[in-house]
Amino acid sequence: MPAGEAPDVLVIGAGIAGMTTALRLAQEGREVVVIDREGPGAGETLRTTAHLASALDDRFYHLARWHGADGARQAAASHAAAIDWIERFAAGSGGCGFRRVPGYLFPHDGDERRIRRELDAARDAGLEVEFLDDGVPGVPAMRPALRFAAQARIDIDAYLRALVAAAQDAGVRCFRAEALKVEGGERPVAHLADGVALHAAAIVIASNVPFHEAVAIHTKQAAYRSYVVAAGLPAGAAPDALLWDDGDPYHYVRLVEARDGGDALLLVGGADHKTGQDEDPTAYVRLQEWTRRMFPAVTGFSHGWSGQIIEPNDGLAFIGRDPGGEANVYIATGDSGNGITHGTLAGLLLTDLIVGRDNPWAQLYDPKRKMFRGAGEWLRENANVAAQYADWVGAGDIHALDELGLGEGAVIRHGMHRVAVYRDGDGRLCSHSARCTHLGCAVRWSAAEKSWNCPCHGSRFDGQTGAVLNGPASRPLEPFDPARLDPDRQ
């Protein structure tokens, strides 16, 4: 990144939120620089299953309670507007696999009472929805169901590439760089890992989770891991639709159409759990079992991956001015399972705020909003975070290093320290302090992902190097000399 340059707007993060914001601002004549520590889509955007839904996954009867009837209507309308925007952009960019499809919500246990309640709430919110006794066409195990019109799906890889190309054509400059700290003010500044201090008239933090402030926003949202499997399926064996149930965690399904006469691909997601808590090595197997039960025609499984979802305590993202009061700093976070539409909305809303235009949804998504109506969820999540600090007084996962097999990780106690130790495939020990560099919780090992995951606010670190994989931490785990753990060498 060239030192000493001061763009109008610096966007940190090149996912759906950052790139949409950058493109929109450039279209408004702003000089925009985007930085990303790894490159476009390296975060959660390319892990998505890319349901584009105005039928939000947090239930409209909850949204109406948390945000009022008008808030629920605005939530539905704003996501519908985001889908419309994506549709227009995709149409001008070769299509990007965009297709309007219906969405179906069905009860995970056959009990229709909850979806009947959602039917009323979704209608009140302005959605076109109907109750189907026979459930999802062609899938007998999914009945009854609600059918939502005008939902959509997209090829997220093609879409993000088109966004980046359009942004660059509009003058946006993209660099690979990592921001460690941001300070607001008349001329806010981002301090980069290479020592450069980058000033701009405004800074947008679109890093999925803000890394620049310690507490405020992290008490209002929680990080979850979510898993996806991809299954082959004969063409026509599943409807081209968005499908999801009302379990907790819920399953979500969509089709990727067959090419060249081969099998279609079915993407099935779910098995969510709080990051760093209740790690479940059977997540993929459970998803596969569920898929076979719902779609007996499945021919086999080809892929599986996981990603991070940030759940806001009151169901809607936080998009707007920095809630910690940093002047001219803007954030987009709390995307929930609707992050592609939330991220697109962020691009539209933040552009309006930065150019000084009114936006009808600014209040609804204001990161400073109070959690009055979502207070129950807010209290539960924060009590859960507080409980995680108890790890510091407990025993380690293992007592001696020889309990650790190849490719395994565990936390071991060493005097006053807790040390995160990983033995790689060649038998080498990689050890780091287990203290999360965000606010000091003790990290835990994820066997499924070979990473150190923090149970407090969801930071994740590479099992081998300790490098940050997910914020809010912005610094890697502190190295800890493995020789200090070897009793023969003390």
- Contact residues toward ligand FAD (CB under 6 A) are 12-18, 35-38, 42-45, 47-51, 178-179, 206-208, 211, 226, 228, 269, 307-309, 332, 335, 337-341, 343, 471, 474
457 contacts which partner out of ligand FES, ligand FAD, none, CB within 5 to 8 A by kind?
ligand FES
Q: Output the smallest distance, CB 390 to ligand FAD, in A.
A: 28
User: Can you tell me the distance from the alpha carbon of 459 to that of 472, in angstroms, rounded to the nearest whole number?
Assistant: 6
Question: Which range binds ligand FES by CB under 6 A, 164-172, 185-193, 408-416, 431-439?
Answer: 431-439
The helix/strand/coil state of 152 is: strand
Q: Which of 7, 103, 466, 472 binds ligand FES (CB under 6 A)?
A: 472
Q: Output the smallest distance, CB 400 to ligand FAD, in A.
A: 36
Nearer to ligand FAD, 305 or 389 (CB): 305
206 contacts which partner out of ligand FES, ligand FAD, none, CB within 5 to 8 A by kind?
ligand FAD
Q: Output the smallest distance, CB 435 to ligand FES, in A.
A: 9
Nearer to ligand FAD, 229 or 364 (CB): 229
Q: Is 136 in the site for ligand FES (CB under 6 A)?
A: no
Nearer to ligand FES, 34 or 473 (CB): 473
Q: Is 220 in the site for ligand FES (CB under 6 A)?
A: no
Q: Output the smallest distance, CB 479 to ligand FES, in A.
A: 18
Q: Is 473 in the site for ligand FES (CB under 6 A)?
A: yes
Question: Which range binds ligand FES by CB under 6 A, 104-112, 244-252, 332-340, 436-444?
Answer: 436-444
| DSSP secondary structure letters along 281-333 | TTHHHHHHHHHHHH-TT--EEEEEEEEEEEEETTSS-EEEE-TT--TTEEEEE
Question: Which range binds ligand FES by CB under 6 A, 155-163, 286-294, 398-406, 454-462?
Answer: 454-462
Element of type H or E holding 382: helix 375-388
Nearer to ligand FAD, 173 or 417 (CB): 173
Q: Which of 26, 76, 331, 441 binds ligand FES (CB under 6 A)?
A: 441
Measured CA angle at 132 (ends 130, 135), to 5 deg: 135
> 381-392 burial, b for 16+ CB within 10 Å, e for fewer?
bbeebeebeebe
Q: Is 454 in the site for ligand FES (CB under 6 A)?
A: yes
The answer for residues whose C-beta is within 8 angstroms of residue 166's C-beta and 6 or more apart is 23, 89, 93
Nearer to ligand FAD, 13 or 135 (CB): 13
Q: Output the smallest distance, CB 485 to ligand FAD, in A.
A: 30
Cβ 224 vs Cβ 279: under 8 Å:
no
User: Can you tell me the distance from the alpha carbon of 436 to that of 308, in angstroms, rounded to the nearest whole number?
Assistant: 17
454 contacts which partner out of ligand FES, ligand FAD, none, CB within 5 to 8 A by kind?
ligand FES
User: Can you tell me the distance from the alpha carbon of 266 to that of 348, in angstroms, rounded to the nearest whole number?
Assistant: 31
Angle at which helices 339-355 and 60-91 cross, to 10° = 80
Q: Output the smallest distance, CB 470 to ligand FAD, in A.
A: 8
Nearer to ligand FAD, 44 or 322 (CB): 44
| DSSP secondary structure letters along 411-469 | EEEETTEEEEEEE-TTS-EEEEE-B-TTT-PBPEEETTTTEEE-TTT--EEETTT--EE
DSSP code, position 160: H
Q: Is 457 in the site for ligand FES (CB under 6 A)?
A: yes
User: Can you tell me the distance from the alpha carbon of 472 to that of 205, in angstroms, rounded to the nearest whole number?
Assistant: 12
Q: Output the smallest distance, CB 371 to ligand FAD, in A.
A: 20
Q: Is 460 in the site for ligand FES (CB under 6 A)?
A: no
Nearer to ligand FAD, 118 or 272 (CB): 272
User: Can you tell me the distance from the alpha carbon of 367 to that of 397, in angstroms, rounded to the nearest whole number?
Assistant: 38
User: Can you tell me the distance from the alpha carbon of 314 to that of 63, in angstroms, rounded to the nearest whole number?
Assistant: 7
User: Can you tell me the distance from the alpha carbon of 236 to that of 265, in angstroms, rounded to the nearest whole number?
Assistant: 11
Q: Output the smallest distance, CB 423 to ligand FAD, in A.
A: 28
Nearest residue (beta carbon) to ligand FAD: 339
Beta-strand pair 460-462/468-470: antiparallel
Q: Output the smallest distance, CB 115 to ligand FES, in A.
A: 35
153 contacts which partner out of ligand FAD, ligand FES, none, CB within 5 to 8 A by kind?
none
> 207-218 burial, b for 16+ CB within 10 Å, e for fewer?
bbbbbbbeeebb
> 346-373 burial, b for 16+ CB within 10 Å, e for fewer?
bbbbbbbbbeeeebebbebbbbebebeb
Residues within the interface to ligand FES (CB under 6 A): 436, 438-441, 454, 456-459, 472-473
